[in-house]
Amino acid sequence: MQKKDNFLPFFVTFFILCFVLILIGKSGIINSATSYLGFSATPLRSTLFTFLGFSNIQNSEIDNLITENRKLRRQIVERQDLARENEDLKNQIGVSDSSPTTLIFAKVIGMPSFVPGESSPDYLIIGKGEKADVVIGDVVVLENNIVGRVTDVSKNYSRVRLSISDDKSHPVKILRDEAEIPGIIKGTGDAFILQNIPLSEKISQGDIVVTKGDLEGKVLGYPPNLIIGKITSIEKESQELFQQANVESFVDFAALTNVFIIK
C-alpha cells in the first residue's frame, strides 16, 4: 500500500513535467537552449509526444481535410441536382414526343415572397432570359402540366407568374370517359376554382381538367390540352344553373427545381 501511495505523486509530477516541457518546446525556448548547447531537442520532443499519444498533424493538413470535405459535400449536392435534372428531362421527353413544340429547359433559382409553411409561392425566377429567346407571354410547363406564364424578362433571367396565382378566367375541358365537359377556371392562390359547369353534367372527384385553348397572340391564354389538375371537391345547388368544383394541380409548386418553356 505504501508503494502505491509513493508511486502516485511520482506519476503526477512526471506528467506535469512532461506537459510543461511540451509547452516550453512549442514556445521555442528549448530549441534556442539546445542549439546553444550543441544538441537537438527533436528526439526529446518526439519521445514525449509519442508517450502522451499526440499526433503531429500540421494546421495546413487540417485545412486541406476541411477543404476536401467541403468539395465532397458540394459534389454530392451537384450529383443530386444533376440526377433530378436528368429525371425531369426524361419525363418531359416522354410526354412531348408527339408534340411539335420546342421546349427550353430552365432551372428555378428563386421564389420571391414565398415563406414555407406560411404561404404559397406566387412567382418563380428562372435562369433563362432574352439570351435564350424567352419573351413575355411564354407558357411554362412541367410534364405537360401548366406551371405558369412569363411576365418579365431580363438578359439571363425571367419572372414566371404561377397558374395558381392567375386570377383571370380561362376556358377548360373536364375529361370524363369520352366526353369533354366545358367550364372556366382561375387560380385562388394555392389551387383553382372551376366554374360555369352546367348543372346537368355529371362530374366526379378525380376527373382531370385540361386547357381548352385560348391563346391571344403571345401574352394571354394557354395552348390546348395542357393539364391543370384534378377535381378534389364539388359544390352544387339545385336552384342554380351551374355547379362549381375545386381543382388541385399535380405540380408541387413549392418544390419546383426545373421547368420547361414552350416556344
Residue 52 has a pLDDT of 46
Task: Write down all domains in the chain, each with its CATH number in brackets.
Answer: 2-56 (no CATH), 63-163 (2.40.10), 167-251 (2.40.10.350)
**In b/e form, how buried is each residue of 117-154, taking b as 16+ CB within 10 angstroms?**
eeebbbbbbbebbeebebeebbbbbbbbbbbbbbeebe
> For the whole model, what pTM was predicted?
0.64
11 phi and psi, to 5 degrees? Answer: -65, -45
Q: Please write the tens of the pLDDT for every residue from 188-237.
A: 999 999 999 999 999 999 999 999 988 665 557 898 999 999 999 999 98
Q: Please write the tens of the pLDDT for every residue from 3-20.
A: 445 555 655 566 666 666
- Which residues in the chain land under pLDDT 50? 1-4, 30-41, 44, 48-49, 51-52, 54, 97-98, 100
Dihedral sign, Cα of residue 169, residue 170, residue 176, residue 179: positive
